[in-house]
Amino acid sequence: MTKLPDAHVVITGGSSGIGLETARAAVARGARVSLIARDAERLAAAASDVGATATACADVARPDELRPAIDEVVGKGGPCDVLITSAGSSHPGYFERLDDAVFRDQMDVDYFGTLHAIRAVVPSMIERQRGHVVTISSTAGLIGVFGYTAYGPAKFAVRGLTETLRSELAPYGIVVACAYPPDTRTPGFDAENALKPPETERISAAIKPREAVHVAKAIVAGIEKDRLVITADVQTAALARAAGLLGPYVRRTMDRQVRRVRRERS
């Protein structure tokens, strides 16, 4: 089980919304927390708000910025024990009216931003034979939702990466988990609401948005219980379970096969 007291938790997108509240919850559990985002002023305000150990500015879509930023916070807070990739945004709209650039940007930030962050910390986690990664997908990464043709695929990709990487890093004692927040009241959610087509608004209105504090609590509890799938509401939990009904059995079988190959090769 991952212990948060004394762990160094690095959070991309830690200056706002779900990332910020997760930072606060992790600090309350005794962790040292570092925040990474683009806007330096917002980062500084967030750091003093939650009592963060370190901050660094980077665009997660740019590995040439993100890697030095991660090195910088690791230099101040020690090796990264837990990585949470919360940097991201959602740009809804009608498929035929969205620019190509939006599809690309959603993949660049939400998917590649997650990938670049994980690739920056994994070598040290493998060396230390421990670590914990939590990616942030969405309910819209479990099921296609009207209006999210640019955002949804990026969050499906985050889920695919997380599930695939899980089995590769498990032999090193590294946990790779995915959180699926439902609609959650954050500055990012407000920005997204301004772009939603009415059909997407109607679908969203059927379920009351959660508070970021509530989602953050679920993420921190998920880390402490080594949960691979982290949800914060019953609807998403049911979707996640139904989508992966055979998951636990298939995962156990695959892990057994991986262990067998490794035994044979050693």
Ligand X SMILES: NC(=O)c1ccc[n+]([C@@H]2O[C@H](COP(=O)([O-])OP(=O)(O)OC[C@H]3O[C@@H](n4cnc5c(N)ncnc54)[C@H](OP(=O)(O)O)[C@@H]3O)[C@@H](O)[C@H]2O)c1
Least CB distance from residue 181 to ligand X, whole Å?
4
Of 2 and 137, the one with the shorter C-beta distance to ligand X is 137
Nearest alpha carbon to residue 228 among 129, 133, 123: 133
**Contact present, 20 and 49 (Cβ < 8 Å):** yes
- The alpha carbon of 2 is separated from its chain's Cα centroid by a whole number of angstroms, namely 17
Q: How far, in Å, CA of 166 to CA of 155, rounded?
A: 16
Binding status of residue 204 toward ligand X by CB under 6 A: no
Q: How far, in Å, CA of 156 to CA of 160, rounded?
A: 6
**Tell me, what DSSP letter sits at residue 232?**
S
Q: Which of 111, 148, 151, 180 is catalytic?
A: 151
Of 238 and 254, the one with the shorter C-beta distance to ligand X is 238
Binding status of residue 163 toward ligand X by CB under 6 A: no
How far apart, in Å, do the first and last CA atoms of the chain sit? 27
Q: Is 180 a catalytic residue?
A: no
Dihedral over Cα of 105, 107, 110, 115: its sign: negative
Residues in contact with 57: Cβ distance below 8 Å, sequence separation at least 6, in sequence order:
36, 37, 38, 39, 40, 43, 65, 69
Q: Which stretch binds ligand X (CB under 6 A): 180-188, 195-203, 246-254, 258-266?
A: 180-188
Binding status of residue 135 toward ligand X by CB under 6 A: no
Binding status of residue 90 toward ligand X by CB under 6 A: yes
Binding status of residue 184 toward ligand X by CB under 6 A: yes
Of 202 and 252, the one with the shorter C-beta distance to ligand X is 202
Considering only 60, 69, 150, 175, the residue that binds ligand X (CB under 6 A) is 60
Binding status of residue 112 toward ligand X by CB under 6 A: no
**Which 2-31 residues touch ligand X, going by CB under 6 A?**
12-13, 15-19
**Tell me, what DSSP letter sits at residue 37?**
E
> Is 101 exposed, middle or buried, given 0-12, 13-18 or 19+ CB atoms closer than 10 A?
exposed
Q: Which of 148, 155, 196, 204 is catalytic?
A: 155
Return the active site residues: 137, 151, 155
Contacts with ligand X by CB under 6 A lie at 12-13, 15-19, 37-39, 42, 59-61, 86-90, 109-110, 113, 136, 138, 181, 183-184, 186-189
